[in-house]
Amino acid sequence: SQQGEEDPQALSIQEGENATMNCSYKTSINNLQWYRQNSGRGLVHLILIRSNEREKHSGRLRVTLDTSKKSSSLLITASRAADTASYFCATDEDDYKLSFGAGTTVTVRA
Amino acid sequence: KAGVTQTPRYLIKTRGQQVTLSCSPISGHRSVSWYQQTPGQGLQFLFEYFSETQRNKGNFPGRFSGRQFSNSRSEMNVSTLELGDSALYLCASSAPTGDKVDTQYFGPGTRLTVL
């Protein structure tokens, strides 16, 4: 079973535009992480936000967390072709276990 | 530091066979996790090892097993392969920081095809 659900499932944007994707989860968490995966390769960690944080930035990435709504969002600003990938949120619903959502596939058009 | 390495990268097996996949974590990382990724089920947690002890296990049949060695390298084994075991198997390592789950560093994966 999957803890998180991403929305939308797929997103197509023009280079230079912003991309926003959302993640909802079911149980209480200590932290939420976002990962990127290019074409069926390994996942790359993007950012970790703790349950007592509301917003976090890393370069062109902005993550928000609303624990009352059990939701998070990932914003990629000024998108580039290299941002084309699948993005996953993941939560620590259980000790030593990362639970992933279904992912959002982002396509950045030149 | 070298990243997480997984061998082999690609594997083709037939139903009924067994397979062993290997994972070498980042130097200094003592936690190793395994995940199965399929188009239908997405990313599913298999198990996590720390200091040769399995600390958590996902909802998979007993055909899936793993172990960790004293040098933190890990292997997973799937016996009596079924067609549905075709998947990308991902290994991830982490350096424990006291969190329930730490930042995971993933390897490139092993693509297993069962015919």
> Which of A41, A98, A104, A105 has the highest number of chain B CBs within 10 A, making it the mutation to test binding with B?
A98
**pLDDT tens-place string over residues B36-83:** 999 989 999 999 999 999 999 999 999 999 999 999 999 999 999 999
Compute φ and ψ for B38, nearest 5 degrees: -130, 155
The token duo for B96 is 């424990």
Q: What is the 3-state secondary structure (H, E, C) of chain A?
A: CCCCEEECCEEEEECCCCEEEEEECCCCCCEEEEEEECCCCCEEEEEEEECCCCEEEECCEEEEEECCCCEEEEEECCCCHHHCEEEEEEEEEECCEEEECCCEEEEEEC
Query: Which residues from B are below 8 Å from A41, CB to CB?
Result: 108-109
B91: part of which helix (H) or strand (E)?
strand B87-94
A97, B101: Cβ pair inside 8 Å? yes
A95, B100: Cβ pair inside 8 Å? yes
Per-residue pLDDT of chain A (110 residues; tens, 9 = 90+): 456 688 899 999 999 999 999 999 998 999 999 999 998 788 999 999 999 999 999 999 999 999 999 999 999 999 999 999 999 999 988 888 899 999 999 999 99
Residue in B closest to A51 by C-alpha:
B99
